Structures are given as C-alpha cells and as structure tokens.
Amino acid sequence: MPPAAQPAARAPALWRDLLGRLLLPLQLIVAATGALGLYTAQTLTDHTFDRWLLDTARALARQVRVVDGQAGVDLGHNAEAILSYDVVDSSYFSVRQQQRHVAGHAGMPQSGRQEARYGDGRVFDAAFAGQPVRVAEVTVGSGASQVQVTVAETLVKRGGVRADLQLMLLPLGLLLLAAAVAIVLALRWTLLPLELIATRWNERSHRSLQTIDVQGVPRELLPFASALNDLLVRIHQLLLRERRFAANAAHQIRTPLAGLQLGLSRAAAAPDLAIARAVIAELQGSTQRTARLLQQLLALGRLDPETAFDLDRRPVDLVALAHDVGALYLDAALARQIDLELVAPEHPVMVSVQAELVSEALANLVDNALRYVPPGARVEISVGEHPPSLAVADSGPGLPADERVAVLERFVRGRGASGDGSGLGLAIVREITELHHAGLQLDTSVLGGLVVRLRFAADAAPPAADAPAPCD
C-alpha cells in the first residue's frame, strides 16, 4: 500500500461516527424509558397486590369479636377454605391478641423488609413456611382488647407479573434494533451524494481541470462542491496564465537570441578586426537588453498573488529608496542626454513595504521612461507624503488614455512605442502594487509626457520611532 493511502485507510468512516452520535442518545432514551416504565409498572403492581392483601386483612378483622376481654373469630369452615384458596399462591392468615394466638396459622412473622404503611395497616416482606411471602397486618381495638390480624401470600403471582412486564421491554429492544437499521440506511442514503462526488472525481483524468457537475448535490454539500470547483477554476486560470507567460517569454527571448547568433556569425566572418569590433559593440548592447529582459522575466516569476502573505514588510524611507534607484540610472541618463531629477522632501517619508519589490517597481518605471523619451528630454522622480507615494514623470510623447489600461498587461506595449522595451515593465509595477495593496495611476504629466504614480495606503506608514530599512 502506498504511503499516501495509509492515512485514508486509518481514517474513521463518517457514517459510523454519525451512527454512534445518533444511536447513543437513542439507546439512553430507550433504556431510560424502559427502566422508568418497568419501575412504574412494578410499583403499580405491588401497590395493587398490597391493597388487595390489606383489604383481605380488613375483611377478616371485621369478623373478630371481643367478649369479656377475649377475642374470637368465627369464619366457619367454608369461609376459611375460601380465604385460603389460591390456585397459584399459598395464602395464610393469623389472629393474635396480646401475642396470644387466636386463630389461623401460628408463628406468622410480625416484621420484615420493604415495609410500607397504608392508613391503619402495614405491609412488609418476610418468610413463612420456608417460602418468601408478602405480609399485611391490621390492628383493631386498643389496650387489652387490641387484636392483630395478619394475612400473608407467597410471591408467585407477583413474580409472574414482573416477568410479563419485563417481557414487555422486548418490543423496545426490537424497536431500538429497527431504529438502528433505519438510521444506518438513512445515513448511507444521505451520504450517497458524497460518494457521487468522489465517483465523479475518480472518473476524471488527472489532466482534467473542468469543474464537476453539482446537479443533485444536496444544499448542505453545495459549499464543499462549489469550493472544489472554485479551486479548479483558479488552478486552471493559473496554469493558463503560466502557459501564456511561458509562450510569450519564449517568443521574447527567441528574437534577441537569434540576433546574437547572427551577430556572432557576422563577427566570425568579418574580413578585418575593425569590422569585427563594431559588430561586437552592437552585440554588447543586444546582450544588455537581453539581460534586462531576463531580469524582468525572473522578477515576474517571483511575483505571485500568494506572495502577498509572505512579504517581509519593514519601514522604508521612500526618499532614500528613490535616491538609490535614481543613482543606478544616472549614467544611462547622461549617455542619452536626458535630464534625470529627484523631487522629494528633505525629511524621510516612511512606509512599511518590501523594499526590494518597491525598488524593482521604481526601477522599471525609470527604465521605461529613459527608453521611450527622446534625447534631451526630462525624467522626474518624485516622492509624496500625504499619502506616501512614488511617481515617475517625463516630457516624452506620453501615452493615449485608451491604452493606459492595456499596457499594464504582460508583453503589451503602446501602439506608438518606439523604444526597445519588452512590454513587461508596467506589468511588473502593477503586480508589485497589487501585492502591497497600493494604488497605481497613469496620467498626463505636467512635463507633457506620461506620469506613473504609486500611492501607498496611509495606514502603511509606520510609527515615527521605527528605524528605516536599508535601501541599497
């Protein structure tokens, strides 16, 4: 068995867990109901038998006569036979006066267990003639004329009634069993949609990213199925994006590499050293552009929406950051006779960002401006405070308003672009601003060309006591 399958094999079944959660309360309810019913029925049965036994003792007590202080009872032969007759149980009676046996069976118990009182009489458990009996005793008269009338009966009928009552619990057990079977079937039937979803997943090719059909899925499972479909859509979009990026990157790299190959062939076939050096000088410029393209492609490869959760945000001085980026492009600006300026406050402007990414964004804006403006133009890097912002403005040809959204996509350039850019610079800037939840605005510059402004949220500004992160 592969390791990946082992956790699934050890995982508990959902239907069994639900069954346990449903059956346990049901078992407790059935058990409590059965116990309460049995107790109530037995108590009622004992109470009824005890009342009947006491009524017999009272009826016998009415036949007692006390004459000259001597108690006597005349039941007659038939009455005594009727009193003692019982098909199931054995019955006994006794009449005593001052511990003197008057009539009936001598030696009957006068006390016992489980005593209960009912008005003028009492009932208790005892043993007589070698058998357990239930005894009822009634006292009549007082003083020297006081007489105790006792009636006892064995417990066969009571035991039979108790057995019958216990037998009545059998349907409850059968009901519990039937309920368990019904619950199992209901759970399996209810969980069938999960198996349906799993079947649909298993029937799919591992290359398929189409969403699953949620037809017939219960409402409670729709969030689960919809979340799976949303995940598939996001993965599909991500793969399409990566494939499109790879295709565009291959196309962009193929052209300069072909140019380098051609240049090397020309240099190798040059008739003299001067021509070869001229070709190599051209190749150096092409190599620099290719290196810049690869650098931008690598930057785009690192930028992913998930990166936003892992950004190492630290307090950064935007003024120092803009100064460092501008210094990197000072030689390129001088070589093209472009006036590169920095307009910023004399004090730090702090903001919590990922310094390397923001530097990359600003570098792409400056690089774009230097590539697309003509010699003798102006490029201005500015830092704002309220809210914290970075901007790059130029006096070049600008960008039509209807193209300012499209150029933020990868490998897209303006229709009138004349430089040697790749169409990646503004796309990199857009993705970096999105990772920082910052604003990005393209507008017409006061210098006459294009201005691109990055606005950071006001709550991104750290407390003044925080030390700025290095920007070099």
Question: What are the tens digits of pLDDT across the range 340-383?
Answer: 999 999 999 999 988 888 988 898 899 889 988 999 999 999 99
Q: Which of 191-195, 198-202, 243-247, 384-388 has the highest mean pLDDT?
A: 384-388
408: pLDDT strictly greater than 80:
yes
User: Domain locations in the chain?
Assistant: 20-167, 220-302, 305-460
Q: Which of 113-127, 217-231, 385-399 has the highest mean pLDDT?
A: 385-399
Q: What is the pLDDT of residue 459?
A: 64
- pLDDT confidence bin for 388, thresholds 50/70/90: very high
38: pLDDT strictly greater than 70:
yes
C-alpha span between 383 and 344 (Å, rounded) = 5
C-alpha span between 396 and 449 (Å, rounded) = 5
20-167 architecture in CATH? 2-Layer Sandwich (3.30)
- pLDDT confidence bin for 61, thresholds 50/70/90: confident
320 or 183: which carries more pLDDT confidence? 320
What predicted TM-score, i.e. pTM, was given to this entire model?
0.49
Give 147's strand partners. 97, 140
What's phi and psi for 178, nearest 5 deg?
-65, -40
Q: What is the pLDDT of residue 228?
A: 81
Q: Which of 292, 469, 322, 294 is nearest to 389 (CA)?
A: 322
Asked if omega into 388 is within 30° of 0 (cis), the reply is no
Q: How many CB atoms lie within 10 A of CB 6?
A: 10
Pull the structure tokens for residue 188.
């399996």
- pLDDT confidence bin for 471, thresholds 50/70/90: very low
Q: What is the pLDDT of residue 82?
A: 58
Q: What is the pLDDT of residue 5?
A: 45
220-302 architecture in CATH? Orthogonal Bundle (1.10)
C-alpha span between 352 and 464 (Å, rounded) = 11
C-alpha span between 68 and 82 (Å, rounded) = 29
Q: What is the pLDDT of residue 468?
A: 46
Q: Which residue has the tokens 């001067």?
A: 274
C-alpha span between 169 and 427 (Å, rounded) = 78
Mean pLDDT, residues 406-425 taken together = 69
259: pLDDT strictly greater than 70:
no
Widest pairwise Cα distance in the chain: 167
Domain 305-460 -> CATH class: alpha beta
Q: Please, what sign has the CA dihedral across residues 54, 56, 62, 63?
A: negative
What's phi and psi for 115, nearest 5 deg?
-75, 140
Q: Are 318 and 383 in contact (CB under 8 A)?
A: yes
The strand pair at 389-394 and 378-384 is best described as antiparallel
Q: Are 423 and 413 in contact (CB under 8 A)?
A: yes
What percentage of the chain exceeds 90 in pLDDT?
20
Q: Which residue has the tokens 């209810």?
A: 190
pLDDT digits (tens, 9 = 90+) for 289-343: 677 667 766 766 666 655 544 567 889 999 999 999 999 889 889 988 999 999 9
Element (H, E) at 259: helix 222-269
